[in-house]
């Protein structure tokens, strides 16, 4: 089973933690991760775009000009798509972009993503994510001590008020409870910093026994 170093917010090692092989040592399946990520991004689309067809554009009852004798092309209505202000030929309609994906496949994709981050050495574990003071400078110091930079995601069992106050003003830093972690969160951040409680909850949630 993978063994990860546990640090405190000063950067000092305070122990180790053995994590589940099934969660953090799963085979890395690129196509499955891609499918899960595309599904999640598609589900976020509002699908509320709407354009009018020629039958929905107001007007168009009178023929623009007589059929013959003008030298111009025949026209039957000003709502035709060839006219400025006319309808749209293949108009966008409100729709849902939701796609189906079995729960076991979604969990397998997230396990694969977490395993890839372990391989890349982008997962850090700390004893607690709560700084001594709920101040931005305390969080900056903690991240510097942990040598984490770029886009960072803090994952705890529940994000504490102290953690939220200390980190909410830092650009590129995001915080989530473990119960809402998804594959986009895992792949879209440079570093994932888990608390011990947070990583244990992830193990409980990503087992197929919870199906």
CATH code of the domain covering residue 200: 3.40.1370.10
Looking at residue 209, its pLDDT comes to 58
Q: If 0-12 CB within 10 Å is exposed, 13-18 middle and 19+ buried, where does residue 208 land?
A: exposed
Looking at residue 211, its pLDDT comes to 47
Regarding whether 55 and 36 lie in a shared domain, the answer is no
State the number of CA atoms in the 13 A half-sphere of 149 facing the CB.
2
By three-state DSSP, how is residue 131 classified? Answer: coil
* Residue numbers of the chain with a pLDDT score lower than 70: 208-211
Looking at residue 181, its pLDDT comes to 95
> How many domains in the chain?
2
pTM for this one?
0.82
Regarding whether 123 and 20 lie in a shared domain, the answer is yes
Q: Which domain holds residue 75?
A: 47-96
């Amino acid at each position: 089973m993978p063994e990860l170093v546990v640090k405190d917010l000063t950067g000092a090692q305070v122990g180790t933690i053995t994590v589940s092989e099934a969660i953090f040592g799963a085979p890395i399946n690129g196509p499955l991760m891609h499918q899960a990520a595309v599904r999640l991004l598609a589900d976020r689309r509002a699908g509320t775009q709407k354009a009018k067809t020629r039958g929905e554009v107001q007007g168009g009852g009178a023929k623009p000009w007589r059929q013959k004798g003008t030298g111009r092309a025949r026209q039957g209505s000003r709502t035709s798509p060839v006219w400025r202000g006319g309808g749209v030929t293949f108009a966008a309609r409100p729709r849902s972009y939701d796609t189906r994906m079995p729960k076991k496949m979604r969990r397998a994709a997230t396990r694969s993503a977490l395993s890839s981050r372990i391989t890349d050495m982008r997962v850090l574990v700390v004893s607690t994510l709560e700084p001594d003071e709920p101040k931005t400078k305390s969080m900056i110091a903690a991240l510097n001590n942990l040598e984490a930079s770029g886009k960072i995601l803090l994952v705890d069992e529940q994000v504490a008020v102290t953690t939220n106050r200390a980190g909410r003003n830092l650009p590129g830093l995001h915080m989530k409870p473990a119960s809402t972690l998804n594959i986009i969160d895992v792949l879209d951040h440079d570093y994932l910093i888990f608390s011990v409680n947070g990583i244990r909850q992830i193990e409980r949630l990503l087992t197929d026994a919870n199906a």
